[in-house]
Amino acid sequence: MRAGELRRAAQLIAGSSYAVALTGAGISTPSGIPDFRSPRSGLWAHYDPMEVASLYAFQRQPQAFYGWLRPLAETAWRARPNPAHLALAELEESGMLRGVITQNIDDLHQKAGSKTVLELHGNFREATCLRCYSRVPAASFLASFLSNGQVPRCHCGAVLKPNVVLYGEMLPVGPFYRAQEMAGHCDLMIVVGSSLEVAPAADLPGVALAHGAKLAIFNRGPTTYDSRATVLVKGDVSRTLPMVARLSQQLKVAMDQPAG
């Protein structure tokens, strides 16, 4: 992490007129939520995603799916937003960020105060019955599920599926369409905590670049778009992003002051 990179990122944010953020699992790891692809600590280092997190696996063995999900759901339920989440909410509140496009399902952006949040991979707030298609708030069964692992069921008797996107499922059309629209209109895309490996969400920076936008990437490790970014800020995003957010607001105030 170098001061010049932080300042350059702040200048991009302060000078933009339509900035959007794209966030991945790396923004939530400082809140205690494990990511998926880190070589040793990521969830997929210990589990085969097609065996535990695919639609096929859920339909075949919902009990096994919920057994895998239970500790992750408890961690997410107890997690609190970290300074990186709060920084994005503050940038939106100040008018310097149009919204957040997220690959995360942990609800931490909303808990931090972000208003415009497009959840490309769904969320844990509701579940849907795959038989009668009733939608049920997760609050109605979450406590009992976390305490005893009981598989939640619909009033019709079928197993409820959390409204998260599993392998083998399409992304929700509405949020993804809006995300593509925002990517095509923005003049700056701020990527935070994403390796940009999972399509189609990972294609959004390409959409932004194709329409003339600049790219600022905050991440610990490399991404597939590093060579095309205007600025790369390496390190813990819960440290780097708040510093850049504060500096960008200071720069914006200075830019808006009348000359003389």
Residue 191 to residue 246: CA distance in whole angstroms: 17
What torsion do the CA atoms of 68, 70, 73, 79 make, to the nearest 10 degrees?
-110
Q: Angle at CA 177, nearest 5°, toward 171 and 180?
A: 105
Backbone angles phi, psi at 259, to 5 degrees: -65, 145
Backbone angles phi, psi at 65, to 5 degrees: -60, -50
185 is catalytic: no
| Of the candidates 210, 245, 244, 246, the residue with the CA atom closest to the CA atom of residue 228 | 210
3-state class (DSSP) for residue 136: strand
Q: Which of 85, 109, 121, 185 is catalytic?
A: 121
Contacts of 67 (CB under 8 A, 6+ apart): 149
Active site residues: 121
